Structure 1
Amino acid sequence: MSKTFKVLLTIIILALFALMILIFSGSQFYTEWLWFKNLNYQRTFITMFFTNFWLRIIVGLLFTIFLYINLSFTKKPLLEYLSVKGDDNVESLFRGSNNDFIAWLNKKRLNYLFLLSSIILGFLFSSINQELWKIVLKYFNQTEFGIVDPIFSQDISFYVFSLPFYNFLKDMGMVLTVLTLITIAIIYTLSAGINSFKDVKFKLSSRAKTHITVLITLFLFLKALSYRLRMYDLLYSARGVVFGAGYTDVNANMLGLRVLTIIAFLTAIILLINLFKKNYRVLLWSLGLWLIASIIFGSLYPSFIQRFQVEPNEIDRERKYISYNIDMTLKAYGLNDIKEEEFRLNDNLTNEILADNEETVNNIRLLDPRPLLSTYNQLQGLRQYYTFPNIDIDRYMVDGEYRQVMLAARELDQNRLASQARTWINQKLKYTHGYGVTMSPVNTVTSDGLPTFLIKDIPPKTFSDIEVDNPAIYYGEKTNSDYIIANTKEGEFDYPLGSENAYTDYDGTGGVQLNNYFKKVLYAIRYSNIKLLLNQDITPESRIMYYRNIKTRVRKTAPFLSYDADPYLVVSEGRLFWIQDAYTTTDRFPYSQTSRIGNYIRNSIKVVIDTYNGSMKFYLIDEDDPLAVTYQKIFPDLFVSGEQMPDDIRAHLRYPQDLFLIQTELYSTYHMKNPTVFYNKEDRWNIPTEKYAGNSIQMQPYYNIVKLPDNENSEFVLMLPFTPINKNNMVAWIAARSDGDKYGELLVYSFPKDKLVYGPMQVESRIDQNADISQLLSLWGQRGSRVIRGNLLVIPIGEAILYVEPVYLQAETSELPELKRVVVAYKDRVVMRETFRQALNVIFGVEEIEEETEEIEGQRPGMVEIISSDIQELSSRALEVYQEAQQSLKEGNWADYGEQIERLSELLERLNEISNMPDENM
């Protein structure tokens, strides 16, 4: 094989390899662009992609040029060294086979080698920072916060937008300088034949010394800049009693950084002067001074100040900085405008007051979302491939009445298809979408304890004025397949219809239309499946849908936002939509306490997603958020003014739970605005615990329709009580408003300090201590059933607090929990009855004592019936076990006989326990 042929073959192979890379990367790029184009967000895609692309090119070119220029300065000494390769030093360095490489390496080839190395290293480092495009775009489109920090008096926009950009420039400069310095130092060392440190002074050329000195000088200038920028970073210090710069940071560390900045800058100047003076003693003194100053001001002096000035007088020294932390934290988390009031607790709840708060009473949630989800899947799943991912809570006008409801989307989960049905045709062309929604009032159940339905079944049956005209769900929380193709000749499964199935053809705008062969080829390459080309059912009218999971969908479109974990379903004008709460967040807000999302958050954006077409609208509802406004400047085609949101969608906006939980966790500490009280943690609050299914868990925020104090109308709020740290009584409750112009307002109601208000766990304990309640629940739990105590709700009504807890019963062999009892607590009384109204009547009835006695007496026959049934069942079982034991004895199976005797003993003990129950319980 000739040399020319080898070269040609190599070129062809490399060309084919490059072509394959181009095809695969090109198909990915073009199909991504088609996806954004279908959503009319082409500009957003181009901005993100090409900003990232060109920044990498620019950074790569800068690295390449800088490296290549510096390497070029080393060519002359390196070539001189290679030309005397017969020298002893060369022989010791390049032993054996390397002589061929030395002979091959000439000036031209060395130039190519340096260029290739610079390009590889340059573009390798250009891809290190994946967030660079965000940093740059936010820097050039920044919006002022109108808030300044208390130390440097800089607008917060400097820390959020400018400082990350400056740090990036500084970091890249230092990395590039150090990398270049190491590289050229190695080359100069090799070319000078240096074998020890002593040889540096005599063998290192003047050219090499000058070159290295210039790079060290550049590094020192960058180091001086680094010290200066680190002064701003002190505002994120976690060393003090609170987050942010404390006394030691401001009075010791900041002084040290100023001194080190000056020393590094002067040392760099001395190095430049030394290029002409050649006085290395001055240079060594400068470097020594720098090292000593770093030790003193970087460690010793701050430690001295902390130990001997701050710690003996900590509250006095840190008071001012604690105030800064409190103020900035409240502003960063939107807690500075919170309205605080005292709850006028009179405990004067009467039937008249209940009647005045009828809308609140009628909307107290008795159905718990957790057991209800299992009930929905059992009653309304209808087929094995349908599932309800979760239960959403919202409010609707139902037949002219303001009602709180629970609803869920019936989605199709392809993983639930029978294994033999998981063919490519079924998964990509036929089983493409879910169907319908199920909706229930929060407070009504059937006689069996199961939810009543406002919307149910397939096709949807509605029992109110809420209509669903288009129930198909192509985009949801369980649509996780990589792609599906709709509107094909195959026909899509729509919904089961008795023993047959109903089919449909998609006529929406979701997905990319496969209207030419070129697109089919690209998607076949993207998904590595030739069936996309060979299938005859795919027509030019067919549409390929991908990124159908709504959580993936929004993150793909706007990866710079954070998102709530719980998107929720909305029925609006006969169609189904998802509302996904989006947050702007950063960890660069000075002095603000950090949390799991950073140290700044706003729920400025609501994303509305059509379940049928997959179209998305990012509504900007808070135009006072500088981060959101900055993103709007960067992506003008993405964000829509909140004023353009349809009224019917706006009516279903709700305050998000994730944000509320972050805010309540912080407010439990940051309601203490006095620095001394804050320092001593004298009045720290806690989010209470409750019992659920036998376990103590942290109470979760819950939605409710209530009439807030001093308000005439009931409204939909998200609320949560507070208890003191290490105590169980309730001290306050917080509410976030969701309706109308009041959306987003936070209210905190504190209880009088001279009155005891039961906390959730105290109410739970009182339920456990109630003999009638605990006895009945214990009996239920021993009869092959599981008792589930749902959410304990703390409901403010008038100037009193009512506690409500549903009780479910679920058979061990069933996944169908049934609401069997409702516990209501008020002041010192705890009552459990079959319905909420019955419990209220017992507590607030006109003939209170007589009615309660009647209810309790009415319950005794039921308890007798349960106990009698237990005795009969246990006696029957004991007889069976005895007969089995006798049979094992006849067969000589002593092991089995022993086990049967133990079981018989347990049954007899249980029979004896029930038989000896006190008469008053029967």
Structure 2
Amino acid sequence: MTRIQRRGVRFLKILLAIILAIILVHVVLDRLFDYRLHQALGYGTVYGKMMVFELLTRYIGAALTTLLAFFQLRLFKSLVPKMLLVPITLVVCFLAYVIGFSLFTLDPTVWFTAFQHKPIGHVDPLLHLDFSFYVYVLPAVNAALARILFLYILSLVIHMLFLALTYALQARITKDVQLPVRIGRIARRVLFMTGILFVLFAGLAFISRYNAMLGAGNGSFVSGPDFVTANLGIGVFSWIHVAFLLLVAVSLFWLAVRPIHLYTLEDGFIRFQRRAFLRPVQAFGAFVASWIVTAIIGGLTNGLYVHPNQNTVELPYIKDSIDSTRWALNIENVQTKPFQGADTLTSAQIQQDANAIANVRVNDQNQTLDVYNQLQSFKSYFHFQTVSVDRYGNQEVYTSARQMDQSQLPVPTWINKTLVYTHGYGVAVSPVNDVTANGLPNLIARDTPQVTQSPVPTLKQPQIYFGTMDGDVIAPSKEAEFDYPSGSQDATSHYLGGYGLPVQGNRLLLMIEKGSLKFYTSDQLTAKSQYLFDRDIYQRVADIAPFLRYDNDAFSFVDERTGHVMWMLDAYTQSDNIPYADSFMGTRYIRNSVKVVMDGYTGETKFYVADQADPLLQTYMTTYPTLFTTQIPADIRAHFRYPTDLFMAQAQAFTRYHMTDPSAFYNQEDKWALANQIYQQNQTQPRDPVYQMIRMPGESQPSFVLSELYTPVNKDNLNGWLVADNGPNHYGELRLYQFPQSHLVFGPMQVENQIDANPSISQQLSLWNQQGSRVVRGNLLLVPIGDAMVYVEPIYLVASRDNSLPQLQRVIVDFGQKVYSGASLADALQNVVNGLTVETGTGLTDAGTSGTTSPSPTSTGGGSGAAGTSGAAGGAGSGTAGTGNAAGPGGTGTLAQQAQSWLQKYKSDTAAGNFAQAGQDLTKLGDILNQLSGQKGK
């Protein structure tokens, strides 16, 4: 080797050493930073366990792959010039390192649980293995076998390449008398390695028996192995394939140990005998033939025997699918209760159910978000991201947190984004049933500074540093942190929480990881300053426990014990490896076993165990014993909600899997469908699950439930009502109220069609849609009152211009296949009691009731406009409760009432500065006065 060559080699070695040192330093600093972040959250032990595993497997795997490549390249020493061998070796080893690093980037939880798990307690009906084998062991076996095969095939390819090159060059290398010996040795090694490869393939074929248990089935009525797969594919064919693969391996081993049959020496050169490969080729041909024959036999069996007798042959496997799916989705214990609603509704029943009626959702959830953002955001950088349904005591409410949107800051400097505008402030809460005189939600938590009234607890710490916000901040600092505008000066505060990373002691790490010198150069930081990271709850929980699945509906509530804004997020355990289970929500097994609660002020995050019976969670609790908390405070449990995504998946599954008889399931004799409704702008869509605080049939007290309605397939009549209990004592219990099929019970779309077919309603809705406004229809709700079932649908008006507020205009009630209306739910129900339908004198333009008015059952006393209050801004006819319609529909009495209502609305809109609407009010008033003049002239 020349001097220049030695220098080149030395340079490459130094360069490699520098690269390795940089990688080492980067890994150490990066992991140290991540560890300290998790330590600040209180979960350093959990992260440390996963981190150690990841580092060991990645770098040991990368090192082993590199060594494997290095020793493989030694084969080519005699074929490649030395000056090229070193750079080629370095390049190949680098590529091997990258491949190994990627290949051995493993999920720690998969491997922890493979060796440390608890039995699930359910056994598959075919191979009689506990489900834990499929959930924990099989994924690890598949992953290990795949990596072994990849590396082994790579090594075999390199040996084959070396053999081919050596064999091709033997005619040119005449001086090396040992070359034929080496060629023979490497040829036998390749044969032996190929034989081992087929042994591995045989192992793969054997493992495929268990993977076949997780097959999708026929996609119709069996999820998992059907008759052919169970009896022939797994029971017979898999063993045949294993046997023929082993036969190929044996033929290769036999050829490797008997080189006399493999090659001969002719004039000092090796010549391979083609006849020597006849047995391995025949054995491999037999293996291929076995696949063809088994496929033909399976197809013939399926076509000639199974299909003609499918309704009997497949019944055991249909039964297995039903049982496994119902268990995996936790719908096997749904309580079915027959229910037939009464045909009458009395004032006494309404008064008796006043507490439940007081929580009927006449405010729409989507419209409420618009109201909050327009009336309670105050500044462009405050916003309400979502409105969620919750309850305080027995009061169902809408709730949302006022968060900071830093992208809307007028001056987005580093000081403002990092030190000053660091947090949101307070919440907006309104009862779902309570409206003001203007038809807007009545806020019982509002404004800055924060104002709260019962039943919302006092908000002692309204600042919100953590929630669904982006951007890391530093607090406290010498800069005062903005709370809210207050006259000519801003109200400010300083962060006093404790779940951030202290800047002091971590400046170097922060500077390197965040690429900013400000952690050293800024004189605004103090010894108490903390780096607040992962302020988005979704990002935080994924960093702490990535092995759980998380819902997308985090919601805020005010904690009674601490007076802080808290965030709750549903977490799931899931697995796709459940034999015979159908797939919903993208998985075959799912449980809402964990509730994650994050303090919006301090950032403290806890994983509460909501279902200790979940076998998957039991394994996770064993694997990560410091992660989960089993003792749940009562004030936290009081806000548990059954997640809508899970409930929707269960409801969808129950459309088929309520049928437990395999024959009925095969024939789909009683398949259901989720009910549709008309929502927003006359849009027909599936009715989403809704939270309701109602008294369920047969119960004595109202309960907070999540519900969904069923109709028969291609029919609109109601035949089922599925509810999930959210109460602390019965959380997660599913009940199905089944309606009789012997007579018609209106479903949601039949009610919607009846509303649309009513001439008075249709005419008025069309009129409202033409007067510079648009009609918005809320969710159609099914409400039990006494022994009767009542449909309730709110109607809103929204002006056709930007930033218009949706206002509750009317509440429509459908009972006994008749339509009633009122300015409030109380008015509409009173019309039901009095038998005054829309056609008999209480059209949509009349907000009041006719006849004697009973006390409002929905009055909450929570503000100036309870649900039973007729809103002055509600449109024509408001404020007429208790006034009889002396002249009948369209008579002088009705026109006089309407004129008075439009006059009051004109005064209200004028006072509010809404002059465009006031002009329309005046026009309507003139029309009615003209009609009155005509009446008098007759």
User: Do the aligned partners of 2:58 and 2:105 also contact (CA within 8 Å) in 1?
Assistant: no
Residue of structure 2 in register with 1:906 after alignment: none
| Aligned counterpart, 2:402 | 410
1:452 aligns with 2:442: yes
- 1:189–1:204 Cα contact (<8 Å) kept: no
Give the superposition deviation at 1:123. Answer: 4.9
**Partner Cα distance (2:894, 2:542) in 1:** 55
Supply the distance in 2 between the matched residues of 1:637 and 1:301 (Cα, whole angstroms).
54
**Partner in structure 2 of residue 48 of structure 1:** 50
Structure 2 partner of 1:302: 298
How far apart, in 2, do the equivalents of 1:17 and 1:282 lie? 50
1:763 partnered with 2:760: no
The reply to whether residue 541 of structure 1 matches residue 528 of structure 2 is yes
Deviations along 1:248-280, whole A, 9 cap, x unmatched?
A: 211232222111012212332333233334464
Q: Deviations over 1:775-795 (max 9, x none)?
A: 222111101111111111112
Residue 628 of structure 2 corresponds to 639
Q: What is the one-letter code of the residue matched to 2:710?
A: F
Q: Which residue of 2 aligns with 1:356?
A: 352
Q: 1:14 to 1:256 in 2, by over 3 A?
A: closer
> What code does the residue aligned with 2:523 have?
Q
Aligned to 2:38: 36
**Whole-angstrom CA distance in 1 between matches of 2:170 and 2:688:** 69
8 Å contact from structure 2 (residues 567, 597) kept in 1: yes
Specify the SS of the correspondent of 1:394. strand
Deviation for aligned residue 1:668:
1.0
Indicate conservation of the 8 Å contact 1:27/1:523, yes or no: no
1:422 aligns with 2:412: yes
**Judging changes above 3 Å, is the alpha-carbon distance between structure 1 residues 154 and 5 closer, same or farther for their aligned structure 2 residues?**
closer
1:507, distance to aligned residue in structure 2 (A): 1.1
Q: 2:83 aligns with which of 99, 104, 114?
A: 104
- Tell me, yes or no, if structure 1 residue 474 matches structure 2 residue 474: no
Aligned partner of residue 713 in structure 1, secondary structure = coil
Aligned to 2:558: 571
- Which of 248, 253, 258 is the equivalent residue of 2:239? 258
- Asked if 1:789 is matched to 2:777, the reply is yes
Kept in 2, the 8 Å contact 1:651–1:740? The answer is yes
Residue 494 of structure 2: aligned partner: 505
Which residue of the partner structure matches residue 736 of structure 1?
Answer: 724
Given that 2:212 and 2:224 are in contact with CA atoms closer than 8 Å, whether structure 1 keeps it comes out as yes
Instruction: Tell me: CA distance 1:6–1:541, structure 2 relative to 1, closer, same or farther (3 Å).
Output: farther
> In the aligned structure 2, how far is the partner of 1:9 from the partner of 1:230?
50
- Structure 1 residues 16 and 58: CA distance shift in structure 2, 3 A: closer
- Does 1:248 pair with 2:228? yes
Identity of aligned residues (%): 32
Question: Which deviates further from its counterpart, 849-858 or 546-555?
Answer: 849-858
Establish whether residue 435 from structure 1 lines up as the match of residue 425 from structure 2: yes
Residue 590 of structure 1, CA deviation: 0.7
Query: Which one of the candidate residues 285, 290, 299 is aligned to 1:288?
Result: 285
Matched letter for residue 211 of structure 2: D
The aligned residue for residue 276 of structure 1 is: 257
Shift of 1:318: 1.3
> 1:576-630: per-residue Cα shift (whole Å, max 9, x none)?
1111100001111111111233110000001110000111010112121121111
**TM-score when normalising by structure 2:** 0.84
Q: Tell me, in whole angstroms, the C-alpha distance in 2 between the residues paired with 1:458 and 1:411.
A: 13
Paired letter, 1:348: T
Shift, 1:350, TM fit: 2.3
In 1, distance between residues paired with 2:71 and 2:616? Answer: 40
Q: 2:109 aligns with which of 134, 141, 154?
A: 134
TM-score by length of 1: 0.85
Q: Which ranges of structure 1 fall in alignment gaps of 5 or more residues? A: 83-100, 197-201, 871-910
> How many residues were matched structurally?
836
Q: Which amino acid aligns with 1:291?
A: V
**2:621 & 2:181 partners in 1: Cα distance?**
60
The equivalent position to 1:489 in structure 2, one of 462, 478, 489, is: 478
Cα displacement (A) at 1:823? 0.8
Distance in 1 (alpha carbons) for counterparts of 2:500 and 2:931: 70
Query: By how many angstroms is 1:708 displaced?
Result: 2.1
Structure 1 SS opposite 2:677? strand
Please say if residues 585 and 597 of structure 1, whose CA atoms lie closer than 8 Å, have aligned partners that are also in contact. no
- Which segment drifts farther, 119-128 or 772-781? 119-128
Q: Which amino acid aligns with 1:409?
A: A
Q: Which moves more between the two structures, 682-691 or 277-286?
A: 277-286
1:193 match: secondary structure: helix
- The yes-or-no answer on 1:620 pairing with 2:609 is yes
The amino acid across from 2:229 in the alignment is: D
Aligned equivalents of 2:902, 2:306: Cα separation in 1: 69
Partners of 1:373 and 1:675 lie apart in 2 by 46
Matches within 5 A, 1:387-402: 387-397=383-393, 402=394
- SS of 1:532 mapped into structure 2: helix
**1:115–1:860 Cα change, 3 Å:** same
Question: Any stretches of 5+ residues in structure 2 without a counterpart?
Answer: 172-179, 262-275, 842-848, 852-883, 906-925
**Equivalents in 2 of 1:171, 1:134: separation in Å?**
18
Match of 2:815 among 811, 826, 836: 826
Q: Residue by residue, what CA displacement relative to the aligned partner does 1:176-227 show, whole Å, maximum 9, x if unpaired?
A: 221111111011101111799xxxxx99932122111111111111111111
Tell me which amino acid in the other structure corresponds to 2:230: V
Render the CA deviation track for 1:673-728: whole Å, top value 9, x for unaligned.
12222122221111111111221121111111122222222111111111111111
Instruction: Give the Å deviation of 1:738.
Output: 1.0
| The one of 597, 617, 640 aligned to 1:608 | 597
Q: Displacement, 1:118?
A: 5.3
| TM alignment of 1:150-165, pairs within 5 A | 150-165=125-140
Asked if the contact 1:194/1:203 (under 8 Å) is kept, the reply is: no
Could you tell me how far apart the structure 2 residues matched to 1:666 and 1:253 are?
28
Find 1:801's aligned residue among 783, 789, 795: 789
Counterpart Cα distance in 2 of 1:231 and 1:456:
61
Residue 486 of structure 1 deviates from its aligned partner by 0.8
**Deviations 1:343-391 (CA, angstroms, capped at 9, x unpaired):** 1333333222222222211111111110110001111111111111111
**Counterpart pick for 2:579 among 576, 590, 594:** 590
Provide the residue aligned with 1:559 in structure 2: 546
Q: Which amino acid aligns with 1:173?
A: I
Q: Which moved more, 1:791-800 or 1:650-659?
A: 791-800
- Cα offset, 1:521, TM superposition: 2.6
User: CA shift at 1:861, angstroms?
Assistant: 4.7
1:129 is displaced (CA, Å) by 6.0
Q: Which of residues 522, 528, 531 in structure 1 aligns to 2:518?
A: 531
Deviates more, 1:46-55 or 1:117-126: 117-126
Residues 497, 603 of structure 2: 8 Å contact kept: no
Q: Confirm or deny: 8 A CA contact 2:58 2:104 kept in the other structure.
A: no
Task: Name the aligned partner's letter for residue 550 of structure 1.
Answer: I
Shifted more, 431-440 versus 357-366: the winner is 357-366
Contact 2:360 2:433 in 1 (8 A): yes
When residues 176 and 275 of structure 1 are mapped into structure 2, their CA distance, relative to the original with a 3 A threshold, is: same
Paired with 2:14 and 2:65, the residues of 1 have a C-alpha distance of 31
Q: What is the match of residue 91 of structure 1? A: none
Aligned counterpart for 2:213 among listed residues 199, 219, 235 = 235
Which structure has greater helix proportion?
Answer: 1
Q: Cα 1:916–1:321, aligned 2, differ >3 Å: closer, same or farther?
A: farther
| 2:177 aligned with 1:190 | no
Cα distance, 1:234–1:798 mapped onto 2, change above 3 Å: farther
| 3-state DSSP of counterpart to 1:453 | coil
State the alpha-carbon separation in 2 of the partners of residues 859 and 562 from structure 1: 59
Residues 656 and 763 of structure 1, relative CA distance in 2, 3 Å threshold: same
Contact kept? 1:345, 1:752, Cα under 8 Å? no
**Could you tell me how far apart the structure 2 residues matched to 1:330 and 1:310 are?**
25
* Separation (CA, whole Å) in 2 of partners of 1:347 and 1:195: 100
Q: 1:258 to 1:864 in 2, by over 3 A?
A: farther
* Deviation by residue 1:722-741 (Cα, 9 ceiling, x = unmatched): 11111111110000001122
2: CA distance, partners of 1:591 / 1:350: 51
CA 809–738 in structure 1, closer or farther in 2 if over 3 Å, else same = same
Q: 1:194 to 1:20 in 2, by over 3 A?
A: closer
The partner residue of 1:522 within 503, 509, 517 is 509
